[in-house]
Amino acid sequence: MVHWPKSISGNAFLFLITLCVVGIAVSIAAVVPGSLLGATAAAVALTSVGLFIWRRRVEAGREQAWVGQFSFADAIARMRAREAIASSPGAAAASVIEPAQSS
């Protein structure tokens, strides 16, 4: 799986690399004439668009599947709630169970 950049500088760098690759591909296409080259370029373009659309659908499905599922933020909230209860003034007295007196 490809790592997609999440920063502006990462996206700009990816865009520049893409421009370089497209420039090289256009230069090669200009040198090699023929209908086979055009058919190959069309097939590559259609396949790329198809894979892009498929990838977006898979990502959307994964995000939808995670809605309401366990997250580490939930675990941290539970841990902090337990710590808050344990550190409250009445927690120590409440946690000690006094033995029943028998007479």
Residue 67 forms part of a structural domain: yes
Write down the residue that tokens 């256009």 correspond to. Answer: 26
- Would you call 89 helix, strand, or coil by DSSP? coil
pTM greater than 0.95 (yes/no): no
Query: Total structural domains in the chain?
Result: 1
Rounded to an integer, what distance in angstroms lies between the CA atom of residue 52 and that of residue 13?
Answer: 19
- Would you call 70 helix, strand, or coil by DSSP? coil
Residue 96 forms part of a structural domain: no
Residue 57 forms part of a structural domain: yes
Dihedral over Cα of 6, 9, 12, 18: its sign: negative
pLDDT per residue, tens digit, the chain (103 aa), is: 566 777 888 889 989 999 999 998 888 777 777 777 778 888 999 999 999 999 999 988 888 877 777 778 888 888 999 888 888 766 555 554 555 555 5
Residue 69: give the domain boundaries.
Answer: 8-89
Residue 98 forms part of a structural domain: no
Residue 27 forms part of a structural domain: yes
Rounded to an integer, what distance in angstroms lies between the CA atom of residue 4 and that of residue 14?
Answer: 9
DSSP classification of residue 69: S
Residue 48 forms part of a structural domain: yes
Residue 44 forms part of a structural domain: yes
